[in-house]
Structure 1
Amino acid sequence: MAKRSRRKPMAEINVVPYIDVTLVLLIIFMITAPLIQSGVDVDLPQADAKDISLEDLPSPVIITVTKEGLFYIDLGNGEDDDAPVSATEVLHLTKAVRLNKPATQVYIRGDKEVEYGKIVTIMAALKEAKVPNVGLMTENF
Protein backbone atom coordinates (compact mmCIF):
# COMPACT_ATOMS: atom_id res chain seq x y z
CA MET A 1 0.00 0.00 0.00
CA ALA A 2 1.07 3.46 -0.83
CA LYS A 3 1.64 5.72 2.08
CA ARG A 4 -0.27 8.96 2.01
CA SER A 5 1.92 11.88 2.77
CA ARG A 6 0.47 14.62 4.89
CA ARG A 7 0.97 18.13 3.74
CA LYS A 8 2.75 20.45 6.04
CA PRO A 9 0.80 23.53 7.07
CA MET A 10 1.83 26.55 5.04
CA ALA A 11 3.23 29.35 7.18
CA GLU A 12 3.16 32.02 4.49
CA ILE A 13 0.52 34.68 4.07
CA ASN A 14 -1.12 34.94 0.68
CA VAL A 15 -0.80 38.64 -0.25
CA VAL A 16 -2.46 38.44 -3.67
CA PRO A 17 -5.94 39.42 -2.36
CA TYR A 18 -4.42 42.43 -0.56
CA ILE A 19 -2.71 43.56 -3.74
CA ASP A 20 -6.02 43.28 -5.63
CA VAL A 21 -7.83 45.38 -3.06
CA THR A 22 -5.05 47.97 -3.05
CA LEU A 23 -5.18 48.24 -6.84
CA VAL A 24 -8.95 48.72 -6.82
CA LEU A 25 -8.67 51.44 -4.16
CA LEU A 26 -5.92 53.15 -6.15
CA ILE A 27 -8.12 53.23 -9.25
CA ILE A 28 -11.08 54.57 -7.26
CA PHE A 29 -8.99 57.38 -5.77
CA MET A 30 -7.50 58.25 -9.15
CA ILE A 31 -10.98 58.62 -10.64
CA THR A 32 -12.52 60.58 -7.75
CA ALA A 33 -9.61 62.93 -7.00
CA PRO A 34 -10.32 65.33 -9.91
CA LEU A 35 -13.98 65.52 -8.89
CA ILE A 36 -13.24 67.04 -5.48
CA GLN A 37 -13.99 70.76 -5.32
CA SER A 38 -11.16 73.08 -4.43
CA GLY A 39 -10.47 76.79 -4.06
CA VAL A 40 -8.72 79.11 -6.48
CA ASP A 41 -4.99 78.45 -6.74
CA VAL A 42 -2.97 81.43 -5.50
CA ASP A 43 0.64 82.10 -4.51
CA LEU A 44 0.65 82.93 -0.81
CA PRO A 45 3.33 85.06 0.84
CA GLN A 46 5.83 83.31 3.07
CA ALA A 47 6.06 84.04 6.78
CA ASP A 48 8.04 82.71 9.72
CA ALA A 49 5.32 80.95 11.68
CA LYS A 50 4.78 77.46 12.95
CA ASP A 51 2.45 75.17 11.02
CA ILE A 52 -1.20 74.99 12.03
CA SER A 53 -2.77 71.58 12.27
CA LEU A 54 -6.09 71.13 10.47
CA GLU A 55 -7.79 70.17 13.72
CA ASP A 56 -7.20 73.70 15.01
CA LEU A 57 -9.11 75.32 12.14
CA PRO A 58 -12.87 75.73 12.46
CA SER A 59 -15.15 74.47 9.68
CA PRO A 60 -15.56 77.08 6.93
CA VAL A 61 -18.76 78.97 6.15
CA ILE A 62 -19.86 78.18 2.58
CA ILE A 63 -22.37 80.45 0.86
CA THR A 64 -23.98 78.93 -2.22
CA VAL A 65 -25.61 81.07 -4.92
CA THR A 66 -27.87 79.18 -7.33
CA LYS A 67 -28.49 80.22 -10.92
CA GLU A 68 -31.94 81.40 -9.82
CA GLY A 69 -30.18 83.87 -7.50
CA LEU A 70 -31.09 82.16 -4.21
CA PHE A 71 -28.61 82.15 -1.32
CA TYR A 72 -27.94 79.12 0.88
CA ILE A 73 -25.52 79.07 3.79
CA ASP A 74 -23.62 76.18 5.34
CA LEU A 75 -22.29 77.28 8.72
CA GLY A 76 -20.01 74.27 9.05
CA ASN A 77 -21.81 72.95 12.12
CA GLY A 78 -22.96 69.72 10.48
CA GLU A 79 -26.59 70.80 10.16
CA ASP A 80 -27.95 70.93 6.62
CA ASP A 81 -30.34 73.80 6.06
CA ASP A 82 -32.04 73.57 2.68
CA ALA A 83 -33.98 76.82 3.09
CA PRO A 84 -32.82 79.84 1.08
CA VAL A 85 -31.75 82.91 3.05
CA SER A 86 -31.55 86.61 2.22
CA ALA A 87 -28.34 88.64 1.93
CA THR A 88 -29.19 90.26 5.28
CA GLU A 89 -29.47 86.85 6.94
CA VAL A 90 -26.10 85.87 5.41
CA LEU A 91 -24.64 89.04 6.97
CA HIS A 92 -26.03 88.30 10.44
CA LEU A 93 -25.22 84.57 10.44
CA THR A 94 -21.67 85.10 9.17
CA LYS A 95 -21.09 87.89 11.66
CA ALA A 96 -22.29 85.63 14.51
CA VAL A 97 -20.05 82.74 13.45
CA ARG A 98 -16.99 84.97 13.09
CA LEU A 99 -17.72 86.61 16.45
CA ASN A 100 -17.47 83.19 18.15
CA LYS A 101 -14.66 81.87 15.92
CA PRO A 102 -12.69 84.71 14.26
CA ALA A 103 -10.45 82.33 12.29
CA THR A 104 -13.40 80.91 10.33
CA GLN A 105 -12.87 81.02 6.57
CA VAL A 106 -15.71 82.10 4.26
CA TYR A 107 -16.18 80.69 0.76
CA ILE A 108 -18.65 81.57 -1.99
CA ARG A 109 -19.79 78.76 -4.28
CA GLY A 110 -21.72 80.25 -7.20
CA ASP A 111 -23.28 78.66 -10.23
CA LYS A 112 -21.53 79.64 -13.47
CA GLU A 113 -24.79 81.07 -14.81
CA VAL A 114 -25.56 83.29 -11.80
CA GLU A 115 -25.84 87.03 -12.35
CA TYR A 116 -22.69 88.91 -11.39
CA GLY A 117 -24.76 91.30 -9.26
CA LYS A 118 -25.79 88.46 -6.92
CA ILE A 119 -22.14 87.66 -6.17
CA VAL A 120 -21.42 91.35 -5.59
CA THR A 121 -24.41 91.54 -3.20
CA ILE A 122 -23.03 88.67 -1.11
CA MET A 123 -19.50 90.07 -1.15
CA ALA A 124 -20.83 93.45 0.04
CA ALA A 125 -22.70 91.71 2.87
CA LEU A 126 -19.53 89.84 3.84
CA LYS A 127 -17.53 93.07 3.78
CA GLU A 128 -20.12 94.62 6.10
CA ALA A 129 -19.72 91.55 8.36
CA LYS A 130 -16.00 92.42 8.52
CA VAL A 131 -14.84 89.26 6.75
CA PRO A 132 -11.25 90.07 5.67
CA ASN A 133 -10.85 87.34 3.00
CA VAL A 134 -13.42 85.56 0.87
CA GLY A 135 -12.61 82.48 -1.19
CA LEU A 136 -14.34 81.67 -4.46
CA MET A 137 -14.87 77.95 -5.03
CA THR A 138 -14.27 76.45 -8.47
CA GLU A 139 -14.09 73.02 -10.05
CA ASN A 140 -10.98 71.58 -11.69
CA PHE A 141 -11.11 70.34 -15.26
Structure 2
Amino acid sequence: MAMSTGGNSGGPMSEINVTPLVDVMLVLLIIFMITAPLMSHSITIDLPTANPKTKEPEMVVPPLDLAVKQDGSMYFNDHAVTEAELRSLLAVNAQKSPQPELQIRADKGTEFKIVKKIIGDTKDSGMVHVAFMTTDAPKG
Protein backbone atom coordinates (compact mmCIF):
# COMPACT_ATOMS: atom_id res chain seq x y z
CA MET A 1 0.00 0.00 0.00
CA ALA A 2 1.23 3.43 -0.80
CA MET A 3 0.74 6.01 1.88
CA SER A 4 1.26 9.69 1.66
CA THR A 5 2.26 11.81 4.64
CA GLY A 6 1.75 15.40 4.08
CA GLY A 7 -0.67 18.06 3.31
CA ASN A 8 -0.86 17.64 -0.44
CA SER A 9 -3.84 15.31 -0.35
CA GLY A 10 -5.60 14.63 -3.57
CA GLY A 11 -2.62 15.18 -5.88
CA PRO A 12 -0.79 12.45 -7.75
CA MET A 13 1.76 10.51 -5.79
CA SER A 14 5.26 10.46 -7.27
CA GLU A 15 6.57 7.48 -5.27
CA ILE A 16 6.87 4.06 -6.97
CA ASN A 17 5.44 1.10 -5.12
CA VAL A 18 8.00 -1.70 -5.59
CA THR A 19 6.29 -4.29 -3.37
CA PRO A 20 4.33 -6.02 -6.21
CA LEU A 21 7.47 -6.03 -8.36
CA VAL A 22 9.47 -7.71 -5.60
CA ASP A 23 6.70 -10.27 -5.07
CA VAL A 24 6.65 -11.21 -8.76
CA MET A 25 10.45 -11.45 -8.89
CA LEU A 26 10.55 -13.72 -5.84
CA VAL A 27 7.92 -16.03 -7.34
CA LEU A 28 9.87 -16.23 -10.60
CA LEU A 29 13.08 -16.93 -8.69
CA ILE A 30 11.44 -19.82 -6.83
CA ILE A 31 10.00 -21.24 -10.08
CA PHE A 32 13.41 -21.13 -11.79
CA MET A 33 15.11 -22.68 -8.76
CA ILE A 34 12.70 -25.60 -8.88
CA THR A 35 12.71 -26.18 -12.65
CA ALA A 36 16.44 -25.64 -13.38
CA PRO A 37 17.59 -29.02 -12.00
CA LEU A 38 14.89 -30.79 -14.02
CA MET A 39 16.22 -29.33 -17.27
CA SER A 40 19.61 -31.01 -16.87
CA HIS A 41 18.28 -34.46 -15.96
CA SER A 42 19.57 -37.05 -18.39
CA ILE A 43 18.28 -40.51 -19.19
CA THR A 44 20.78 -43.22 -19.97
CA ILE A 45 19.88 -45.77 -22.61
CA ASP A 46 21.80 -48.58 -24.23
CA LEU A 47 21.91 -48.01 -27.98
CA PRO A 48 22.48 -50.96 -30.31
CA THR A 49 25.76 -51.06 -32.13
CA ALA A 50 25.95 -51.70 -35.83
CA ASN A 51 28.20 -54.50 -36.96
CA PRO A 52 28.31 -54.53 -40.77
CA LYS A 53 30.32 -57.77 -40.86
CA THR A 54 27.48 -59.84 -39.41
CA LYS A 55 24.70 -58.21 -41.39
CA GLU A 56 23.06 -60.37 -44.00
CA PRO A 57 23.03 -58.91 -47.50
CA GLU A 58 19.54 -57.68 -48.28
CA MET A 59 17.88 -59.01 -51.38
CA VAL A 60 16.89 -56.25 -53.73
CA VAL A 61 13.42 -57.04 -54.97
CA PRO A 62 12.28 -55.16 -58.06
CA PRO A 63 9.00 -53.31 -57.50
CA LEU A 64 5.77 -54.34 -59.20
CA ASP A 65 4.34 -51.76 -61.59
CA LEU A 66 0.59 -51.28 -62.01
CA ALA A 67 -0.58 -48.71 -64.53
CA VAL A 68 -4.25 -47.70 -64.51
CA LYS A 69 -5.71 -45.92 -67.53
CA GLN A 70 -8.56 -43.42 -67.40
CA ASP A 71 -11.06 -45.99 -68.71
CA GLY A 72 -10.12 -48.45 -65.92
CA SER A 73 -7.90 -50.78 -67.93
CA MET A 74 -4.93 -52.06 -65.95
CA TYR A 75 -1.41 -53.02 -66.98
CA PHE A 76 0.62 -55.14 -64.56
CA ASN A 77 4.33 -54.85 -65.45
CA ASP A 78 3.31 -53.60 -68.92
CA HIS A 79 0.93 -56.52 -69.59
CA ALA A 80 -2.83 -55.97 -69.77
CA VAL A 81 -4.68 -57.72 -66.93
CA THR A 82 -8.25 -58.07 -65.74
CA GLU A 83 -9.41 -57.59 -62.14
CA ALA A 84 -9.40 -61.35 -61.48
CA GLU A 85 -5.90 -61.77 -62.93
CA LEU A 86 -4.68 -58.82 -60.87
CA ARG A 87 -6.06 -60.32 -57.65
CA SER A 88 -4.34 -63.65 -58.35
CA LEU A 89 -1.03 -61.91 -59.22
CA LEU A 90 -1.23 -59.86 -56.02
CA ALA A 91 -1.94 -62.98 -53.95
CA VAL A 92 1.09 -64.75 -55.46
CA ASN A 93 3.39 -61.77 -54.87
CA ALA A 94 2.09 -61.29 -51.31
CA GLN A 95 3.48 -64.72 -50.40
CA LYS A 96 7.03 -63.83 -51.47
CA SER A 97 9.65 -63.03 -48.87
CA PRO A 98 10.71 -60.24 -48.94
CA GLN A 99 7.50 -58.88 -50.31
CA PRO A 100 7.89 -56.61 -53.36
CA GLU A 101 6.45 -53.10 -53.41
CA LEU A 102 3.44 -52.42 -55.62
CA GLN A 103 3.77 -49.07 -57.40
CA ILE A 104 0.45 -47.74 -58.69
CA ARG A 105 0.48 -45.25 -61.56
CA ALA A 106 -2.98 -43.90 -62.35
CA ASP A 107 -3.91 -41.41 -65.07
CA LYS A 108 -4.89 -37.95 -63.93
CA GLY A 109 -8.49 -38.43 -65.03
CA THR A 110 -8.95 -41.88 -63.45
CA GLU A 111 -11.91 -42.00 -61.07
CA PHE A 112 -10.96 -42.57 -57.47
CA LYS A 113 -13.39 -45.45 -57.05
CA ILE A 114 -11.26 -47.50 -59.48
CA VAL A 115 -8.10 -46.80 -57.49
CA LYS A 116 -9.96 -47.47 -54.24
CA LYS A 117 -11.05 -50.88 -55.55
CA ILE A 118 -7.44 -51.70 -56.46
CA ILE A 119 -6.24 -50.66 -53.00
CA GLY A 120 -8.92 -52.85 -51.41
CA ASP A 121 -7.90 -55.84 -53.55
CA THR A 122 -4.26 -55.20 -52.65
CA LYS A 123 -5.05 -55.15 -48.93
CA ASP A 124 -7.23 -58.26 -49.18
CA SER A 125 -4.46 -60.17 -50.94
CA GLY A 126 -2.00 -59.42 -48.12
CA MET A 127 0.24 -56.91 -49.84
CA VAL A 128 1.79 -54.49 -47.36
CA HIS A 129 4.06 -52.24 -49.41
CA VAL A 130 2.05 -49.98 -51.74
CA ALA A 131 3.27 -46.77 -53.34
CA PHE A 132 1.73 -44.19 -55.66
CA MET A 133 3.81 -42.92 -58.55
CA THR A 134 3.45 -39.39 -59.91
CA THR A 135 5.23 -37.27 -62.45
CA ASP A 136 7.33 -34.25 -61.59
CA ALA A 137 5.71 -30.84 -61.81
CA PRO A 138 6.82 -28.88 -64.85
CA LYS A 139 9.66 -26.52 -64.03
CA GLY A 140 9.31 -22.89 -64.88
TM-score w.r.t. the length of structure 2 is 0.53
Q: Give the drift of 1:127.
A: 0.6
Q: Distance in 2 between matches of 1:133 and 1:49?
A: 28
For 1:111, the equivalent position in structure 2 comes to 107
Task: Return closer, same or farther for 1:132/1:55 CA change in 2, 3 Å cut-off.
Answer: closer
Q: Give the drift of 1:57.
A: 1.6
For 2:125, the equivalent position in structure 1 comes to 129
RMSD: 2.8
Q: Which has the higher contact order (CA 8 A, sep 6+)?
A: 1
For 1:67, the equivalent position in structure 2 comes to 70
Q: 1:95 aligns with which of 91, 95, 115?
A: 91
Number of equivalenced pairs: 87
TM-score w.r.t. the length of structure 1 is 0.53
Q: Is the 8 Å Cα contact of residues 57 and 103 (structure 1) preserved in structure 2? A: no
Task: Return closer, same or farther for 1:55/1:124 CA change in 2, 3 Å cut-off.
Answer: same
Q: Highest CA radius of gyration, 1 or 2? A: 2
Gapped regions of structure 2 (runs ≥ 5)? 1-47
Gapped regions of structure 1 (runs ≥ 5)? 1-47, 75-79
After TM superposition, what 4+ stretches of structure 1 lie above 6 angstroms from structure 2?
48-52
